[in-house]
A and B are shown apart, each in its own frame.
Chain A
């Protein structure tokens, strides 16, 4: 098992630009919660923790050309990443071997809400349509410093950055990279300020986590990134080590979309997992940086969870949200940075403004100095009960256990099988009818075909669900039935744009009529992980639950995460979903920037669910085996050729045995030419298959690519209309699925019928 350590970090929040200022504010007990200044909102009654820099100041500091389209979230990210990379001593060359994993929920919403009406009515702000999604945000941040080996983004609301730490850890543990730069970024937007207001959980006074009089959140903003590194790699390059990351745990509360369970089941499980992984006893924990938002609900639930785990002797606890405000998606990383400062400078930060207990745990009231912090737990919980806990251990010097060679037992991995798959798309829903009777798909906007939802969803539930949510519930129910798996160990999803319909329904009146009387139902479903957590709530599934949101590799990142957990033996089954919807007006926006609506190109929508797991997990015969799966960022032809060779070599499959390669041909000139070029180079001699002629284009279309290839393997045959160059139906036993639409994000999956 590789050991993980942190060799650099950078942080930006309302209490400081950089580590030094942050440390001073913490030691001097100086909160950053003031009257709103940078956000153009009418809600100045709510104190906020804004980063005290304007966008222009950050653009100048980062040396970005003034006219470049930039979002505040991306700028924070760059500020924090710059410090982290410098602190970790990473050069451009180092970066090209490293992964970048970033969490955000609102992404470029600050500009989207500012220019929403322009997007619809004129072409003056089109450049900002492309900076809206979380993946674009992650790439803007990363690309400023060079080209990382792999990039992805995830979006699990307020636990996003903490979950980025987990995915980065897995990439290092698998040996994919030695260094992963992980964290998250978020700016305050009118969108979520009004959203939280519609849920009535914002405090008009300064927030008071764990206090009897607590009345809600103060929103904050900022970013932080950590350089996470294989300890041996760090030792060899002589990097300074701040601490080890010895434990992490993610669990789903599976209770309610916006409320925490009274007994804190999800947070209890997350903390327990982190301690178990680190093999330490609860009594050894020196400090807990709590999620502690200041809402009635969270703080009592989190207190209950801590009491369950630690009994009467709960270690010192504080919520540093009393300094920074709730920095939502960035909070996991910002609070890890605070924990690292505390460990390094031997202090426990205060939980400001706490006065009286109402049964919650009693936090640390003022800064405690000269304390040795050996084990520090950092909690981050998100909407839908997406609960994550990370454990840092003190660094005592490192002796490499072996001399650079990878131990043999690490290579032994569980094989991963695909047991069942289901889709709702522009083809006949919940069925493989498309293989024999494909429906024609027209150029332009196509809405998915809805099945009868009554068999899956009660009317009282359905009334609040957007179309994406209904589709996800239907495909996941179908895949549970088909696979014979009653309860998956993990639910991992990917979505490029999330619930567009409800986001629009919230945004539209806010931009037209102003910031009043907005509907909480729409806000709740606007976060990308709503779907994944709703599936968990329906199933009462407390297992691992995460949602990736990075353009066309959203689904692939989810699949990658699930495969790594199965291969490592952490879980035996995982439900992996990919879903995206468009609305007619959002289709219009995406057409303006050339993502959809190119001549000859059909657009689609989809919800796909796969059930994957270890061998013989159910008595159902698997559709196929998932032999390999890899993600690459901006690979050159040589790198892609190499990656394909390595994948084939790793799975002992001769190139001549790969019958065909499923590619994302979508009818648009640019994309089709890119795939043609691959067939002339890295994929020379392979038979090209296509699937978007049947299913259309959308960010989650690659999920349909895997689904279609698996369906073909189960039948042993590819229908003639899927062959790029025409001809008869084709017998198949191994299919490569490659997704490389935009020439940046690339995924490679090898599916084999040997099962």
Chain B
């Protein structure tokens, strides 16, 4: 799981172009939206693209994303359970 979390952080930084942020700056359990990284609705859409592209997970409703993108840990757990690639 730790490996997946690190990989995921790197992917988030890349896809959201978070230039000045390093994987260690992202708290595993801090919220990604609102506080923490303070991402917004467009970032959520970008993460949905990431989920499908890298892990084969299709999210059809953006509201579903809200639960899954609570923190990097939650995201990693969800990926671990549902990934198709």
Contacts and interface: CB of A to CB of B under 8 A. Distances in A.
A511 B1 CA distance: 36
A257 B62 contact: no
A523 B72 CA distance: 26
Interface residues of B, number: 16
Interface in B12-56: 16-20, 38, 41-42, 45-46, 48-49, 52-53
B17 A198 contact: no
5 contacts: A200-B61, A258-B42, A464-B17, A517-B49, A520-B49
Given A459-B20, A463-B17, A200 B45 contact: yes
- For the complex of A and B, the 10 pairs showing the least CB-CB separation, nearest first, are A463-B17, A520-B45, A517-B53, A459-B20, A200-B62, A517-B49, A517-B52, A520-B42, A463-B19, A459-B19
A259 B41 contact: yes
Contact of B45 (A199, A256, A459, A462): A199
Interface of B: 16-20, 38, 41-42, 45-46, 48-49, 52-53, 61-62
A715 interface: no
A733 interface: no
Contacts of A464: 17, 42
A519 B48 contact: no
A524 interface: yes
Q: Using C-beta atoms within 8 Å of the partner chain, give the interface range for chain A.
A: 10 to 19
Interface string A208-231: 000000000000000000000000
Interface string A454-494: 00000110111000000000000000000000000000000
B61 to A, nearest CB: 8
A518 B49 CA distance: 7
Contacts, number: 35
A463 B17 CA distance: 5
- Output the residue of A200, A462, A464 with the most chain B CB within 10 A: A200
Nearest to A258: B42
Contact of B46 (A257, A258, A521): A521
A524 B45 CA distance: 12
Contacts of A462: 19
A418 to B, nearest CB: 36
Contacts of A521: 42, 46
Contacts of A256: 41
Given A519-B46, A521-B46, 9 more contacts: A200-B48, A200-B61, A200-B62, A256-B41, A258-B41, A463-B18, A463-B19, A518-B49, A520-B42
Contacts of A198: 45, 49
Contacts of A520: 42, 45-46, 49
A208 B46 CA distance: 27
A740 B18 CA distance: 44
Contacts of A258: 41-42
Contact of B42 (A460, A517, A518, A524): A524
- Output the residue of A459, A460, A464, A519 with the most chain B CB within 10 A: A460
Contacts of A519: 46, 49
B16 A463 contact: yes
A256 B41 CA distance: 10
Contacts of B42: 257-258, 464, 520-521, 524
Nearest to B50: A517
Interface string A281-314: 0000000000000000000000000000000000
Nearest to A297: B41
Contacts of B53: 517
B71 to A, nearest CB: 19
B38 A460 contact: yes
Contacts of B18: 463
Interface in A607-640: none
Contacts of B48: 200
Nearest to A459: B20
B39 to A, nearest CB: 9
Contacts of B61: 200
Contacts of B49: 198, 517-520
Nearest to A259: B41
Nearest to B61: A200
Contacts of A463: 16-19
Nearest to B65: A200
Contacts of A200: 45, 48, 61-62
A259 B40 CA distance: 11
